[in-house]
Amino acid sequence: MGTLKYTVIKSEEQYYEYCNLLEEIDFSDEADEREDEIELLTLLIRTWDDEHRLAPESDPVELIKSLMKEHGLSQNDLAKIAGVGKSYISEILNYKKRMSKKVIRNIADRFKIQQEALNRHYRLEGEGKFEEQGSRTSRIYDFKTGDLVSYTESTYGLEVQTEDANYSIAK
């Protein structure tokens, strides 16, 4: 058997080499003819990302700041990549706004990372820490028992507890 054209990524240098090659092929006139090669490179890059680049609970804003630093990018550069204005990027980086789907897609495509890494919840400036708020009692009464309904607020929504059942209400 001959030498393999591509191998499992074993170094950061090889990772960036494959990322650049994938981008070059993907934007070339030969992209349709090299579809299998694109799929293989994508798989190798995603495998590396899954194992090395993204912490499971990483903060999306911190990830973006890290990518900016790693690639020597300014907020203007990032705004161009994301396809939005500099002020919008500034608000994201300062935890004042959430990223739109367009911004997530454009940044993920540019840096060859999974969109899920950027599509995670992060607390905006001024939002309370839900974990510290704990259980509360509402002014709503359970229809069957007449008791006040208890609930716990979290980053994902509300957990409502009644005598008969528990319910989750997503945000």
**Can you give the CATH number for the domain in which 121 is found?**
1.10.260.40
Nearest to residue 42, comparing CAs of 21, 62, 60, 59?
21
Give yes or no: residues 134 and 118 share one domain.
no
Give yes or no: residues 88 and 121 share one domain.
yes
d(CA 123, CA 136): 21
Angle among Cα 66, 19, 17 to the nearest 5 degrees reads 100
Give yes or no: residues 97 and 119 share one domain.
yes
Q: Is residue 159 part of a domain?
A: yes
Which range of residues forms the domain containing residue 20?
A: 8-53
Q: How many structural domains does the chain have? A: 3
Ordered per-residue pLDDT tens for the chain, 171 residues: 556 788 898 888 898 898 889 888 888 898 889 888 889 988 888 888 777 755 555 789 988 998 999 899 999 999 999 999 999 999 999 999 899 999 999 999 998 888 888 888 888 887 654 444 444 444 555 555 666 566 666 656 666 666 666 665 655
